[in-house]
Amino acid sequence: MCAMIWSERTPSVTCLAWHPDGTLFAAGHEDGCLTFWSLEDPDKPLLVRTIEREDVNVTDVESLFDAGALDSGARQQGGSAGAGGGSEREPVFKIAWSSFPDQAGLKTILASQGTPGAGEPLTNATIEYAERGETVLVVLGGCIVGAPSAIHVLQMPAFVQPMAPVGGHPSNGQGLTLGQRNGLRDSLAVTGITTYPTATPAEDFLLVPRSSPYYNLWHDPIAIVIFLTPDPSLPPVQAPHGERSVDAWEFPPQRSDVAPEDTGRKKFRTVEDEVHGVLPMTAAPMSPQYRGGRSLSAVASPGGTPNSGWKLPWSPPPAASPNPLLYTASGVPLRTHPPRPFRLPSLFWTGRTNVLGCEIYPLDNVVFTRLISWAIAQGDDAEKPRLPGLSGGTAVPDLASPNAPEPSVIKMESYRVLATFSADGCVR
């Protein structure tokens, strides 16, 4: 046991993801941990964490108790949990580090809203992340074995390169001072965690970008498609039906304003800290209008002149806001809701939505008109809107082939709907 505690852990790397600014990267490991590295310090990670806790590589009294190296009866009641949690974790299988449009890009997208080439409309969540310069890290895996299946999204603050302290010294010979190191750690402090639950363990995920195919499809994503393992609770289905399922969700999730209460971060002072007077830095709350050293109002003006009056096109007047917390820094009204699932086109009918059979039913004009009028009226507010950028097939009358009926005859025929029944027992 003692040999295991005092031995340096070197778990295998399973996946990598670069921070959007290109100076940091995250690595997923076989033991379920995430490590964060700076290019200027290749010998020591900036941070080692699990999904829930930071600094799990630092051994303290609590972690020794959890490892069984000390008498557990001597621990005072009410103490915090150990750094590693003392539970086996699944490997981190995949990570993706997503950024959002900068201020110039955000203004361009806003200006195009309502035009034919606008693409998918901006969501409040995207605007908030873009205004603050925040990023999100999507993590597949890393959960405690036996915990509910889910994909986690870690909300990261805006990256600001810290200033080197006066008289600071390189901590490792690579030009990274202790003050810079602690500042980078503060840039990696998770400020919120969102969970995308899955019915079965996820095998993979795909982020659907708004427009850019670059940055590994991770920049400005508008949806996440999750590929799931077969569900053992469903009845076995013979080929050619598929067993695996596909889920689709709105992305990014609404950002969180409630930071984790106990991150597990260790803030020890080293001998070098004492000698050189360098104190560990703590994360300072950033102004929502501050990013990269310039305010939003200064960036909004073409010449860089502060223009505090700049607002988004649909911004209400400040006096009309009954509650400032319900609006972004630019005045965009917010709607707080959990991530919305998307309806997938028929191309993805598999697993739980596997179509086992179907029937076609004729409907008279009155019933069909009532049906489509409700669908049109509720289309934008549906609980599960369609996955952006993808749609199912469309059936149209054949009027071109030699055996096609006369248009006048087609007009006399009743409308038809296709009803399917699936492996999960639902009729659609």
Q: Looking at the 3D structure of the chain, how many domains does it have?
A: 2
- Residue 63 tokens, joined: 């972690």
Q: How many CB atoms lie within 10 A of CB 185?
A: 22
How long is the chain?
428
Q: Look at residue 327 and tell me whether its pLDDT is greater than 60.
A: no
Residue 116 belongs to a domain: yes
244 & 194 share domain: yes
How far from chain centre, in Å, is Cα 161?
Answer: 23
Give the pTM.
Answer: 0.72
Do residues 108 and 227 share a domain? yes
Residue 340 lies in a domain: no
| pLDDT surpassing 60 at residue 326 | no
Among 326, 342, 368, which residue terminates a domain? 326
Which of 22-26, 105-109, 187-191, 399-403 has the weakest average pLDDT? 399-403
In this prediction, residue 17 carries a pLDDT of 96
Same domain (yes/no): 277, 394: no
**Beta-carbon neighbour count of residue 381 at 10 Å?**
7
Q: Kindly tell me if the per-residue pLDDT of 191 is higher than 50.
A: yes
The answer to whether residues 298 and 369 belong to one domain is: no
Quick one: pLDDT at residue 94?
97
Distance CA 267, CA 279 (A): 9
Look at residue 348 and tell me if it is in a domain.
no
DSSP 224-238: EEEEE---TTSPP--
User: Is the domain of 312 the same as that of 382?
Assistant: no
Question: What is the per-residue pLDDT across 22-41, written as a single tens digit (0 to 9) for each?
Answer: 889 999 999 999 999 998 88
Domain residues for the domain of 227 are: 2-326
CA 426 and chain centroid, separation: 29
Cβ contacts of residue 384 below 8 Å, gap of 6+?
Answer: 340, 341, 342, 343
Residue 287 pLDDT level (bands cut at 50, 70, 90): very low
pLDDT band (50, 70, 90) for residue 160: confident
* Domain assignment of residue 337, yes or no: no
Give CA–CA dist 102/153, Å, rounded. 21
Q: Is residue 345 part of a domain?
A: no
Residue 302 lies in a domain: yes
Distance CA 152, CA 140 (A): 7
